Structure 1
Amino acid sequence: MRRKELSEEFRDKVVDRHRLGEGYKKISHTLSIPLGTVRSIIKKWKVYGTTETLPRSGRPSKISSWAKRILALELTMRPTASLKELQSSMAEMGENVHESTIARSFANCSRYGRSERRRTLQKANSDLQSRAEFAEKHLDIEMGKDPRKPRGKMSSYAYFVQTCREEHKKKHPEASVNFSEFSKKCSERWKTMSAKEKGKFEDLAKLDKVRYEREMRSYIPPKGEKKKRFKDPNAPKRPSSAFFIFCADFRPQVKGETPGLSIGDVAKKLGEKWNNLTAEDKVPYEKKASKLKEKYEKDITAYRNKGKVPVSMPAKAAAPAKDDDDDDDDDDDEDDDDDDDEDDE
């Protein structure tokens, strides 16, 4: 990695300290610069008697000036000449250079050589044919949203905003609504509401969630679309890791020390605390995480052995053939699961 060039004033300081009798290592340590830099500055001062940047000739050009003039004339007469053709002309003049060198040379004077066509017409036609075959195979797949798909579940805040919109329409039926200002007012009002006032909307959200889960169980997506995996609320929850158990214990402490921190800053501080712990301090949390993992493995094994309907198949196709009662629905299954969970506890 190249370092930034030191100023002439700074280089004079290095020379002045050297004149006073300081060693290279001491100068390097005092001015916080590499030892090699100190050596090169003093060496240059001894040879040239100055620390200023001297002009240099630089690397010679790979293309001579007369060859550039001839190529420029050829490019003016034949604007469609490719770099390959220009390279051949250079070889005839006795100068063998790469195509990129020619392109870079002309780009500096706002002239550009045309790159040679890489794709043949036969290849382009075969690509078009393969695209057409792919399109014909997928003509039957309907694009866009499936009208038979169940409506998505609404959150408690969405129900609250819907209620606010209806109230606003009743009070001001002809007035237009500025969506950004209306959303901001709803958000401020939602933050000031108590838990009791929010309870009505949370109950509506829970009912809508049950409706959505029930409809998604019987929904079969159209061909070419993957069905979203249904997550059973009665399934055992995955265990927390040792770090998350540690966070649950120390999060109130971090919030109490600095109450104005955001969620991201709190997580950052918890991560720092966890990294500062020794291996012995982490042992209790790792033991808790290990016990939770063992319990989860037992619970998930028992849950899978209950004969749950696979989430990738419709509920009707996975119904057991030995059941006498054919009218059992999903609610009965969930009630049985709740009873089994209480017995396990």
Structure 2
Amino acid sequence: RGISSDERPKRPLTAYFRFLKDNHSAFRQKNPEMTNLELVKKIAGAWKELPASQKQVYEEARKTDWQRYTEQLAAYKAQLTPAQAAALKEEKRKRLAKRRSFKAKRELTVLGKPKRPRNAFNIFVSENFQESEGASPAAKLKQLFDAWQKMSSSQKQPYLQLAEDDKVRYENEMKSWEAKMVELGREDLIRAGQQRRKKKTAAPAKKAGTAKKAATAKKAGTAKKA
């Protein structure tokens, strides 16, 4: 039969997260006006100030659960067929790849990467979505798609022009953003095409620099002989 990673024993909580789980409700009752982030920071501060003897209680509970976890994990792995183990490994790989992708997108947002340009149809949809007919978002999109297909070239032209303008905006913003990333030492975030162009530009400059050094050295050698 198939087996899911949901059946895998759950890794036990750390000592701090046990403390957080045990005390979250009490802290919330005492500080109802706080946001979740503020509340977590307050609990983290309380954990730091907690005496070592009280922290040890949570640490011992973690050790007990960890021992049970390792035994359950060994039993879980022992029951897997090679095919099931391979399937779970692939599932884990996809899950980690998805997590890395999300983390990378979040980093780009923090770094202020410009938004990609919209095409003509996207602009048409954004301007007409609210007024379009349809009981659901999918129905609205279908209605707009059908309307777009029936539009003449002249009717589409304003949206095509807006799309071209947005493309120019994107390219200009990307050039500035990529220059900033180079200054920050994040060349890995530059588009592949831009990297190739930079290498082509750098190659002649490097060659010219090498030739200049050789000429200078030759001139110095000639002067020395004289």
Normalising by structure 1, we get a TM-score of: 0.24
TM-score (norm 2): 0.36
> Which structure has the larger Rg over C-alpha atoms?
1
